[in-house]
Every structure is written in structure tokens, then in C-alpha cells.
Structure 1
């Protein structure tokens, strides 16, 4: 039914995987969680290896750093189910029924469903500039996003059909900030039917003010 795919680099992701794993078990669905590490430092890879102890969970490490686009494409190729749920490493679901809300849309006519972003008030002190940017430009209600569905596209929380994602991913050439704009343009160009829903993840990995500038 569902392949949850998590690309990661130099980040501790066990808490995210455990959170998603528990939600999938609660819904009693066929699932797998595949994490692909883009050649992180040893302290991260050693800590994340315990993911393998969870049922239907896999933690794989690339032999070299390939970047976000190639890592996500490799994850999609590894997935055995036709629906892919991409989650970035630095997020956590906002809602307890996160998985349930997504699976309710699997039988509809949409090929891609975007859940959205949320910025916690507790994160803004040391990360005020990035927090303000995200709050204004990325934390957008689904009702507003659906008015112009290809404008606010955040692939860090994306449910998409495998046979939709792979052909598009092969056209992506950049690992730089702004890759989602290109992704959105390709979805629009190919008339892929998408939907935005309010099923947010909390964005945890904010840059500090100095890095954001």
C-alpha cells in the first residue's frame, strides 16, 4: 500500500521513523519505511542503525554523497508499493492521525497530495529569520494552496504515485535551494493532477539567523 521514504544526511532520524512506524501499525496497513543516508558522518549512521530493529524498516547508506535529488530518486526505485510518502529528515507529523489522513486519499483521482508545513512558536528564538520566512511563505492553509495548486509545492511532505514521481525525478538536475519550484513547474507542465490538504509536518531543522542570511 504505502512506501514511506526518508532521505537523510547528518541528521538523527530515529524519532521520526518511530513516530511514523507507530502510526502505520495503528492503521494496520501494508507499509515499508526506507531511509537512505547520503553518506553521513559515522556518529549519525551508527545512531540511526537501530532503525533496522523496527519491523518493515530499512536503513541504507550510500557509498558516496550524491545529493538530495539522486537520493530521492534511488528511494523511489527501491520502493515496492505504488504510493510513495516522501518526508524530509528534519520534520515530525503535527497530527496524531497523519497516516490515516493520507490513506483516505489513495483511491481518489489525484496523483500527488501535499500535506503542508507548520512552524512551531518554540522554534523562532534562535531561528527567527528562517522561522518568519517559513511562517509567511510555507505555512499556507490547504484552502489557499488549492487556489493556485502549483505555487506552494513542498516536497518535504508529499504523497505521490511512484509512476508519476520517477519520470519527473529524472528531469530534475539541481540539488540547490529552489528545487521544489522546478518540481512544481514540471508537475504543471505535464498536467499532473495534485491536491493540497491540511496534514502538516512540523519543520524542525531551521537554519540559524547567520546561516539563513
Structure 2
């Protein structure tokens, strides 16, 4: 059942942010919401960005309509911050967005609201602007367009596995049933939440209403982020085992075949040359996949069995 057009919708727009200037996003959303003439609020979740950023965000509230700031006194990470912002939200319809995106369409909010169904999650997808690409950001762009960015038709083939929380609309009722996994930290938390939604039988509706993902990371920074995310994947590998993550599935297969020691050696020998290639002009996604597999294998150490000697009496 879609939103009743005779009922005026209300909307809480929630945006976790950490030391990032997302003013254009906030202004764009505020402008459309005012034009729709709906009750709305925008809550920016400042994830302990520091005094200077706190002053910047607080200043925006005096200049942008219906903008509120939630300041965390500790770094929560995006997942925990999303849960915290839902707790702070005034309205029952909730639009969650990353801070480094911009709506592609002038009817972004309207198109989302027209697709809303009770007890469901609506995902609009995301794209990249080729005009934003610089030579030092090619890896993030190539990974985005070749691996992550998909049409609604493609995402709908495997709706839970395709879930990415960069842009989604849902209702408070959904968060009454599930929440973003607070134990996960940063890295593969979207895969975990998608699996939680699947287990809870919460429908995911994929539509073509994309945001443009800003290319803020250089290739070197993206590799560093990737390693932190793989660290988190390895840390939570038991929890994430059933979440259909290709990298983890491949790693577990290599582990069963007992060739992770060879892959650890491969990491030592080849990671520097792979990084030079991936930061170059034609980064290969095959090389990037191998890079992640070698790295997660480098984290794995086989524990030797403890031998207990029987005492003779």
C-alpha cells in the first residue's frame, strides 16, 4: 500500500556526517521539502567532528530552514549514528542519506515518497558524475561504476544483497523491528543490515531515484579505507558468514583448501606493485579483487593446537 495522496506526508531527513561540508546537500533537500509544502526536519548527526566543525554546523541552523544538529560526544560510526538519529527523529517517515551525496533529480523527495510502502525499505540507488573524475580518483570511480552502481532492475534481481544504505527511505515501524548493527563498526555493515532485513522479512523496494556519490577519496585514500573495511570484515567473519559477501566466501574457500599461507606470501611480495597499479591510470577491478583477497589472507593466522600431556599418577 503506497502513501495515501490525501494524507499530508511528514518527513525526517537524517544525515550522519564527520568533518565534511555537506551544505549543498542540506540546502537542496530543504528547498525541495519547502516546495512540497510538507512538515519536515533535517537532522545532521555530527559524529564528534571537533570544535571547528561544530561551529560550522551550528551556524547552518541559523541559515537553513528546519535544520537541526545532533552532536555526539564520541565517535559512533555511521551505523550507530543512524540508529541514534532515528531515536531523535520527530516524524515516522525517515529518509537516510550519506553526507557525500547529492540528489540527481529535482523531484528526489517526491519520487521517494510516492514509492513508500508501510514496513518496507526503498532504495533509490546511486551514480557517479564522470565530470568529477580526476586522475588521482580513478580507482574509486572505476569501482563505483563497475561494481556498485546498478539500475533498479539489476538491484531487484537480488534485493537484499544489493542493499547499500547510501540513500534509503523507510518508516519508524521498520526500525522498531530492526536496527543498524551497532556492533559492526565501519566496513561491510551494509551487507550485515541487508541480511538482517532479509531475516526479518522486511521488503526492499528498488527504484531509479539516484543520488550522485561525490568522489572525495583519492585512490590511495580509497585503498586505505578498503583495508580498514576488510579488517572489519575479518573481525566479524563469523557473524557475516551467512551474508553472501563474495570476498568472505572466497576467503573461506581458500582457507578450506589450506592455501591462505601462500596468499599471505603473495601479499608480502605483490601488494606494493598492486597498489601502484591501482593508483595508476587504468586500475583493474580484477587486480583490486585479488588485492582484497591477499590482504584478508594476510590477516589470518592458523592457531596451532594445544597439546595437553596426561599426568601419570
| Fold conserved between structures, TM > 0.5 | yes
- Mapped to 1, the partners of 2:119 and 2:156 lie a distance apart of 13
Q: Which runs of 4+ in 1 moved over 4 A?
A: none
Pairwise CA distance, 1:142: 0.4
CA-to-partner distance for each residue in 1:127-175, whole Å, 9 max, x for gaps? Answer: 1111111111221000111121112111110101112125422644212
Question: In the alignment, which residue of structure 1 is the partner of 2:282?
Answer: none
Structure with the higher fraction of residues in helix conformation? 2
1:35 matches 2:44: yes
* Structure exhibiting the larger radius of gyration computed from Cα positions: 2
Pairwise CA distance, 1:211: 1.7
1:11 matches 2:9: no
1:212 matches 2:222: yes
1:196 matches 2:200: no
- Mapped to 2, the partners of 1:71 and 1:172 lie a distance apart of 9
Question: In the alignment, which residue of structure 1 is the partner of 2:73?
Answer: 63
Q: Secondary structure at the match of 2:178?
A: helix
Pairwise CA distance, 1:43: 2.7
- Mapped to 1, the partners of 2:144 and 2:154 lie a distance apart of 15
Name which of 46, 52, 77 aligns with 2:55. 46
Matched positions, count: 212
Within a 5 Å distance, the mapping from 1:89-108 to structure 2 comes to 89-106=99-116, 108=117
Question: Contact 1:4/1:84 (CA < 8 Å) preserved in 2?
Answer: yes
Unmatched tracts of structure 2, length 5 or more: 1-9, 224-313
Question: In the alignment, which residue of structure 2 is the partner of 1:160?
Answer: 170
CA RMSD of aligned residues (A): 1.5
Unmatched tracts of structure 1, length 5 or more: none
Question: In the alignment, which residue of structure 1 is the partner of 2:256?
Answer: none
Question: Contact 1:116/1:138 (CA < 8 Å) preserved in 2?
Answer: no
Q: Secondary structure at the match of 1:6?
A: strand
Pairwise CA distance, 1:75: 0.1
Pairwise CA distance, 1:122: 2.0
Q: Secondary structure at the match of 1:158?
A: strand
Name which of 196, 199, 214 aligns with 1:186. 196
- Mapped to 2, the partners of 1:132 and 1:98 lie a distance apart of 25
- Mapped to 2, the partners of 1:109 and 1:118 lie a distance apart of 27
Question: Contact 2:12/2:42 (CA < 8 Å) preserved in 1?
Answer: yes
Question: In the alignment, which residue of structure 2 is the partner of 1:119?
Answer: 128
Structure with the higher fraction of residues in strand conformation? 1
Q: TM-score, normalised by structure 2?
A: 0.65
